[in-house]
Amino acid sequence: MTDNPVVLRARGIDKSYGGVHALADADLEIRAGEVHCLAGANGSGKSTLIKILSGVEAPDRGEIEIAGTVTSKLSVVGSISHGIQVIYQDLSLFPNLTVAENVAMTTRVAGRARIISITAARELTLTVMKRLELDIDPDALLEELSVAQRQLVAICRAIANDVRVLFMDEPTTALTWNEVGTLFQVVSALKADGVAIVFVSHKTEEVFALSDRITVLRNGKVVAVGGVAEFDRDSLVEALIGRQELEERIVSSDVHDSPVLEVNSISAPGLFAEISFTAHAGEIIGLTGLMGSGRSEVADAIFGIIPFTSGRVAVDGHDIRSGDVASAISAGIAYVPSDRLTQGIFLDQAISRNLVASSISSLANKLGWLRPKAIRAGVDKLIDELSLKVGSPDDPVSSLSGGNQQRVVIGKWLATNPRVLVLNGPTVGVDIGSKAAILQILREKAAQGITVLLISDDVPELVSVCHRVLVVRRGRLVDEIASQNVTVEAVRERSIA
């Protein structure tokens, strides 16, 4: 691999956003036909580096060398015409256009097309989808697709072009395991064609399974570069966060017998059917299954976002009205949703406002007037309890790193003194350091008698905190792995089956 010619090289890249130094003197070298992993904790600058190499952002300093020319800044069209393609972390697709138009868009822009042909776009799309063994209606509007399908469309769009360097910014977060498998096959095929692939992932297993070389970023600086053989799990984790990862199974034996959350045979047509389980005070229950198995929908239904048509959900014996978030909250359920940025936080609002958002009524007197002192005390307590790294509570929550933002979401719910804490993928896209902190919070809350329902497909994470793990498949609860049997192997085996 190291003999292959360099197709893209970045040297001494610096980039600041206001006060945030996102990249500091970062170098990156990409060779033809390699799979290059760009690793780093949240906010370490991976996405920023990709945006600079695709011409979306201009670096403050540094140079980019591509195809024998050196520049201080690429244009988007320039990068595309040099065969650079990106699957962005947020996909960057067009919800209001059809699948075919989405797939064909970049090729047309780069080709300076003036007139477009729907049929040609459709054909292009079908060709690419055949290659990926996909069957998505090219005439469907993108907004009608599921998140996983959109992810696949983004992949189609990237490889529909004449691609020489393919950046994939966390492309697997929304995919099921078999979709990930197909993606890996495509990656191998592209690699065989001499395409360079730059791959961002927080999943260490993926990193080792796929990459030839690894570049590790920390706080905007490159802290390690080398062939995959030069790393092992521990050294990678150390490079990522500068210390060893703790992911052993720490589960308290302090579970009470009293049932707190009772889910009794709830169904929602087309989503899930006859789900039943009981969770006790102090218990952390894992809920896992393939993407699209219905596990997220079960969580949504318990919180009242999706109505269930039969069965009942009760907290401490009190029934919750189907499809009524307010009744779930007043029964003591708290919910950390899967999409932090759009569902979890109010991005431009102050950290303090985010922290009180769920407990407004308890912070107001009978006439609806807020009690400023109570608010300030509550906010300070939470910041302390969650060890949030904040400048001032009046700063916008957008000024926080991803891990801290996620802790704000959890804190917002802790302020309501919940009986049941439901978390949907709380550590997705969160770096290892924050992840450990979040899992520790869950353990502490369980120890205080809160019931925790953790929806996740991160098996080591489930193993590390859960007393029991429930497995959902095709909308049904198919398995329960009891405490003594919770191991990485067991969970993985049973949820794939």
Partner 1 sequence: MSVLTRTPQFHIARLRGRNNEGVLLGIIALLLLLIAMFSPGTLSPAMFADILRSSVVNMALALGVLLIIISGGIDVSFTAIAIFAAYSTVVLMRSIGLDNGILPFLAAAVIGALLGIINAVLVAGFKLQTLIATLGSQGIVRGALLAFVGSVYISSLPSALAQIGDARLTTIGGSAVSVLVIPVILLAVGLAVVLRKTMFGRSIYAIGGAPESARRAGIRVGRVQTVIYIAAGALSGFAGMVHVALVGHASPFELVGTELTVIAAVVIGGASDAGGRGSVQGVALGVVLLALIQNSLVRLGVPGFWHTAVVGVVILLGVAIQAQSRRRRSKRSTILESAVTA
Partner 2 sequence: MSSASTVAPSFLARVRRTLDAAGHTGNLGLLLAGVIIVFSLLNPSIFASPLNLQSIAYAVPEIALLALAIAVTMSSGGIDLSIVATANLSALGAASVSIALMAGGVPGDAAAATGIAVALTVGVGCGLINGLLVAKLRIAPILATLATMTLFSGFAVAVTRGTPLYGLPDAILALGVQTVAIIPVSFWLLILAVVVIWAVMNRTGLGLRIILVGASPEAADYTGIRRSRVLLSTYALSGAIAALAGILMSARSASATAEYGSSYLLLAITIAVLGGTNPLGGRAPIVGVGVAAIVLQAISSGFNGLHISPYIYQILQGLILVVVLVVEVRRGRLTKWITRMMSRPPADGAALAASTGAATPLKEQPTPKPLTQGSHEHD
Ligand X SMILES: Nc1ncnc2c1ncn2[C@@H]1O[C@H](COP(=O)(O)OP(=O)(O)OP(=O)(O)O)[C@@H](O)[C@H]1O
Output 170 or 297, the one with its CB closest to ligand X: 170
Q: For residue 62, give both structure tokens.
A: 């540094």
131 binds, among partner 2, partner 1, Mg ion, none (CB under 5 to 8 A by kind): none
Q: Which stretch binds partner 1 (CB under 8 A): 104-112, 233-241, 345-353, 364-372?
A: 104-112
Q: Which of 374, 58, 24, 402 is nearest to 221 (CA)?
A: 24
Separation CA 305–CA 323 (nearest Å): 6
Beta-bridge mates of residue 484: none
Helix (H) or strand (E) holding 148, with range, is helix 147-160
Using a 10 angstrom Cβ sphere, with 0-12 exposed, 13-18 middle and 19 or more buried, the burial of residue 67 is exposed
What does the angle CA 165 – CA 171 – CA 172 come to, to the nearest 5 degrees? 140
Output 84 or 320, the one with its CB closest to partner 1: 84
Strands 310-315 and 476-481: unpaired
Output 39 or 260, the one with its CB closest to Mg ion: 39
Q: Which stretch binds Mg ion (CB under 5 A): 88-96, 146-154, 177-185, 332-340?
A: 88-96
Query: Residue 47 CB, nearest distance to Mg ion (Å)?
Result: 3
Separation CA 123–CA 84 (nearest Å): 22
Please count the other Cβ atoms lying within 10 Å of the Cβ belonging to residue 78.
16
**Sheet of strand 272-280, all strands in order from the earlier edge strand to the far edge:** 272-280, 259-268, 310-315, 318-319
Query: Residue 265 CB, nearest distance to ligand X (Å)?
Result: 39
Q: Which stretch binds partner 2 (CB under 8 A): 41-49, 72-80, 157-165, 385-393?
A: 72-80
**By CB under 8 A, residue 5 contacts partner 2:** no
Q: For residue 429, give both structure tokens.
A: 């896209």
Q: What string of DSSP letters covers 19-41?
A: TEEEEEEEEEEEETT-EEEEEE-
Beta-bridge mates of residue 225: 215
Considering only 114, 253, 257, 367, the residue that binds partner 1 (CB under 8 A) is: 114
Question: Which residue lies nearest ligand X, judged by its C-beta?
Answer: 43
Query: Residue 15 CB, nearest distance to partner 2 (Å)?
Result: 13
Interface residues with Mg ion (CB under 5 A) are 47, 89
Instruction: Provide the binding-site residues for partner 2, judged by CB under 8 A.
Output: 55, 57-58, 63, 65-78, 81-82, 110, 112, 305, 325-326, 328-329, 335, 337, 342-349, 353, 356-358, 360-361, 363-364, 368-370, 372, 412
Q: Can you give the binding site for partner 1, defined by CB under 8 A?
A: 54, 56, 75-77, 80, 86, 88, 91-97, 101, 105-106, 108-110, 113-116, 132-137, 140, 143-146, 148-149, 152, 178-179, 182, 270-271, 292-294, 474-475
